[in-house]
Amino acid sequence: MAEKGRRGLLVLHSSPLIRKAILDLFDGDPGITVVGGCPHPAAAGSLPRKRPDVALVEYEQWQVVRGDVAYWSDTRVILYSRDNTPRSVVDCIRGGAAGFVHESCPPESIVKGLHDVLSGRSFWHLGTDEPERPPVAVRADTGRQWKLSGREEEILGLLLRRRSNEEIAHELCLTQQTVKNYASRVFHKVGVSGRKELFRMLRPCA
């Protein structure tokens, strides 16, 4: 149970080594009380009775967590993932997560990101590794389907990294007008009007 004035943290990950490493980051943190660490939300008796204020959850556990609305409704969830493709980031945040962190994210960024989320801000860190280009696929999302080409995936990834059109054009050896055209198609397929709405979508609800 979190002490008065401190916020409760739960780490949900199948690897005991990763669970311990993350929990150790917050050992002695004056603003955080670790309320538990467990391998799977369905494990009998694994979840603490006190609802955590924030949970760092393995990406593969996300669907199970989303299915237990009663337990997780008041918990801000940060997803910890080895998959940092842009589509995965957007799907997770749209699904209700308050943040996203790739496994290559440095420890100090995880600590800062968790405190950001507890302060009502969003946090997503795509990691130090460039995302692998996934196969082009159709994914259902809030009643619509969107299908991105390989180039559109690249553009979305750079937009999520807050690159300007000029920077994207330089990095991909394209003209700025070509980047604008690709970005417009990406925004249309994802279902947003532009950068501002994309970043608003990535903010957690208050």
Beta strands in 41-185 (DSSP E): 54-58, 76-81, 99-102, 123-125, 138-141, 144-147
Cβ-contact 40, 61 below 8 angstroms: yes
pLDDT above 90: residue 166: yes
131-163 pLDDT tens trace: 433 333 333 333 234 577 888 888 888 888 788
> What is the average per-residue pLDDT within 56-78?
81
The pLDDT of residue 121 is 79
Measured CA angle at 78 (ends 184, 163), to 5 deg = 30
> In whole numbers, what is the pLDDT of the chain averaged over residues?
78
Report the percentage of the chain scoring pLDDT > 70: 79
> What is the average per-residue pLDDT within 167-179?
94
More confident residue, 3 or 191: 191
Tell me the C-alpha distance between 76 and 52, whole Å: 8
pLDDT above 60: residue 2: no
pLDDT grade for 9, boundaries at 50, 70 and 90: very high
> What is the average per-residue pLDDT within 53-62?
88
Length reported for the chain: 206
Cβ-contact 177, 169 below 8 angstroms: no
Of 9-23, 81-95, 150-164, give the lowest mean pLDDT range: 81-95
Of 164, 160, 158, the closest CA to residue 176 belongs to: 164
Cβ neighbors of 152 (< 8 A, separation 6 or more) are: 182, 185, 186, 189
Q: Domains in the chain, start-ordered, CATH in brackets?
A: 7-125 (3.40.50.2300), 138-201 (1.10.10.10)
